[in-house]
Amino acid sequence: MHDAAYTFVADAVRFHGLLRRPGLTVEIGGRNVNGTVRPLFPRPYISIDSRPGPGVDIVADGATWAPSSPAVRVVCCEVLEHTPAAASICRQAYQMLEIAGVFIVTAASPARAPHSALDGGPVRQGEFYRGVDMGRLKVWLAPFQWTAIVEDPAVGDIYGLAWK
């Protein structure tokens, strides 16, 4: 995770006290490639990823996996641009959350150069990549009761907070 995405999540936690309330946090795509937001949140914290690796608690598909009890927060940082199942991941995040729970999203917008989910280097042959634009993220977050989406064109990011 690059610095601007980490800063968005850290600022969201600092300025929205509800993001710090006790309860389960689920991170979708939690393999630590180049940083993690895990220390920003209280425990319990479950990190799932489709691949094993540093920071992964459970190897699972974020589009289908569900915790045994509802989550207070679902975090998905720098994942949606790397999967054709991004809409399904957003729907599943909604399903995972308790009422008034929050979904925290960071992703690359079309303004950022394509990069690999494996190591941040060049996209490999056969690897999916699609920058996430404002319209697409609005559609994916439509089931939520309230959303805030911002773009940072200087770094090629899009960020979202969505409350159930």
- At position 73, the amino acid (one-letter code) is R
Rounded to whole angstroms, the Cα distance separating 115 from 102 reads 27
Per domain, the residue ranges of the chain are: 3-163
The CATH T-level fold of domain 3-163 is: Rossmann fold (3.40.50)
From the list 55, 48, 46, the residue with the least C-alpha distance to 25 is 46
Two tokens, residue 139: 């559609």
Side-by-side strand order, sheet with 45-49: 58-59, 45-49, 25-28, 71-77, 97-108, 157-163, 146-152
The per-residue pLDDT string of the chain (164 residues; one tens digit each, 9 = 90 and over) reads 789 999 999 999 988 876 778 999 999 999 998 889 999 999 999 999 999 999 999 999 999 999 999 999 999 999 999 999 999 999 999 999 999 999 999 999 999 999 898 888 899 999 999 999 999 999 999 999 999 999 999 999 999 999 99
Q: Is 0.85 topped by the overall pTM?
A: yes
